[in-house]
Amino acid sequence: MPRDLPPLSDLVDTARVVALPMATRFRGVDVREALLLQGPEGWAEFSPFAEYGDAEASAWLAAAIDDAWMPRPPAVRDAVRVNATVPAVPADRVAAVLARFDGCRTAKVKVAEPGQTLADDVARMRAVREVMGPEGRVRVDANGGWNVDEAERAIHALAEYDLEYAEQPCATVDELTELRRRVKYMGVPIAADESVRKAADPLAVARAGAADLLVVKAQPLGGVRRALQIVAEAGLPAVVSSALDTAVGISMGVALAAALPDLDYGCGLGTGSLFAGDVADYGVVAGSLPVARVTPDAARLDEFAASPDRRDWWIARLERCWAVLEETD
Q: State the angle between helix axes of 54-69 and 247-259 in degrees (0 to 180), rounded to the nearest 10.
A: 70
The residue annotated as part of the active site, out of 108, 110, 184, 198, is: 110
The residue annotated as part of the active site, out of 108, 184, 198, 217, is: 217
Q: Which residues are annotated as a binding site for Mg(2+)?
A: 141, 167, 193
Q: State the angle between helix axes of 308-328 and 54-69 in degrees (0 to 180), rounded to the nearest 10.
A: 90
**In whole angstroms, what separates CA 320 from the centre of its chain?**
24
Q: Which residues are annotated as a binding site?
A: 141, 167, 193
Using CA atoms, how far apart are residues 160 and 179, in angstroms rounded to an integer?
18
Catalytic status, residue 198: no
* Residues labelled as active-site residues: 110, 217
